[in-house]
Amino acid sequence: MSKWYPKNGRVIFHVDMNSFYASVEMAFDPKLKGKPLAIAGNPEERRGIVVTSSYEARKFGVKTTMPVGEARRLCPELMVMRPNFERYRTASKEMFKILADVTSLVQPVSIDEGYMDITNCSSQGSPPEIAERIQQRIADELDLPCSIGIAPNKFLAKMASDMKKPMGITILRKRDLQNKLWPLPIEEMYGVGDKTAEKLRRIKVETIGDLAVHPVLELKRLLGINGERLQNRANGYDQRPVDPDAVHEFKSIGTSTTLPEDTTDDQEVRSVLRKLTHKVEARMKNKKVLAQNVQLMIRYHDRKTVTRSRQLKEFIQSAEDLFQVSLQLFDEHWNQEPIRLLGITAQDLAEKSEITQQLDLFNYEQYASKEKLYKAIDDLTEKYGSNPFQPLSAPQNNTVTTSFQKDFLDDFKK
């Protein structure tokens, strides 16, 4: 057993659920199994986006972020369903319970993947044996497939879990890098996006192996400190611990929407911004945080994307405050071209309980004059269970919508 559990090393798992949303729907309705299935936000609209798809659909070229219309052209038999977030949230919570039965060192990183540190689990068997039991339990109890990467650190475990899907178990040691990792194209490396890959190819970095041996000074000139970090990862170095407490950390709260049609209509833009700010406000209240920075994202008809942000003197939370800052950013930076997507993100977050409003000579009178009104609203809210003075511009749908991949962790940490 000592060969599996080195004295000075770690044994890390990366557990990655396969085609998670589609697999959950198939577990819920077995008639869907074996069918080409896609989950999309707006399946009725040609421009709705595929969130995930089954492996049967992927054989036809259906991919995540692909427009529904294009997916249906590639796969005429494609079945398209709206996402059922509560169903996925429940399945995710049960999956992480299974992982927690093995070790307390579990770090969820999204709804369908997480890391485990099993360094001190030698009494439960070898790492492959533990991985097989986890995989089998998830399949037997939840009827869901997963892949597991086994490695001495988080980066290599993540790369390993991607090497065999679905239902794969892959071991990736540092001595395996030259044969298993380095031949892979640079864009397949975790942490390298399309733009970074494009930059690296300009300096003849075509594979992960090329990155591992490239002069570090040139990488730092091209990518800054991230260039050196990526090279370390390519050589198998990653000291990040599996941190269960990381589930409590979040740096921003944002949401975005793709418009039904590209638009230059100022009134339509204002309406979309208002809806987005109400969603952000609801999530901020749910997490009990305030923001001191607001970022606006504009994606144009040609997919060119710009982001602009504003640092504020005071912390804010209300949809109206978020809307006013977002609108100012929009008015200042819109180039008058048709808009495809808008997004708003609240940043520089702080817990509401830790923030004390600093009332100075100029804003004290403003707050004091409304104190009785605020108290009356609070009293009525407590009596009737909801705020009876919702602004007319607020969405009438009382369902709190969320950025699901970020917010599902709330369930896990309770």
Q: Would you please indicate which residues are annotated as catalytic (active-site) residues?
A: 113
Supply φ then ψ for residue 240, to 5 degrees.
Answer: -65, 130
Q: How far apart are CA 319 and CA 109, in angstroms?
A: 28
Number of continuous H segments (helices) and E segments (strands) in the chain: 16, 12
What are the tokens at 269?
């833009």
Residue 66, token pair as written in the block: 């692909």
Of 167, 218, 162, the closest CA to residue 187 belongs to: 162
Cβ 311 vs Cβ 348: under 8 Å: yes
Q: Which residues are annotated as a binding site?
A: 16, 112
Report d(CA 246, CA 108) in Å as an integer: 8
d(CA 167, CA 302): 38
The answer to whether 318 and 281 have CB atoms below 8 angstroms apart is yes
- In 89-191, at which residue ranges do the beta strands (DSSP E only) sit? 106-110, 113-117, 146-151, 169-171
Residue with tokens 């070898």: 126
Q: What is the dihedral of CA 220, 222, 226, 229, to 10 degrees?
A: -50
Place of tokens 């700010």: 277
What's the token pair of residue 101? 């039965």
Which residue from 236, 231, 226, 229 is spatially nearest to 213, judged by alpha carbons? 231
Residue 123: is it exposed, middle or buried by C-beta count within 10 angstroms (0-12/13-18/19+)? exposed
Cα(181)–Cα(159) distance, integer angstroms: 8
User: From CA 309, how far away is CA 189, in angstroms rounded?
Assistant: 30
In this structure, the strands spanning 79-81 and 37-40 are parallel
Query: Two tokens at 277?
Result: 């700010």
User: What Rg value do the Cα atoms of the chain yield, rounded?
Assistant: 24
Binding residues for Mg(2+): 16, 112
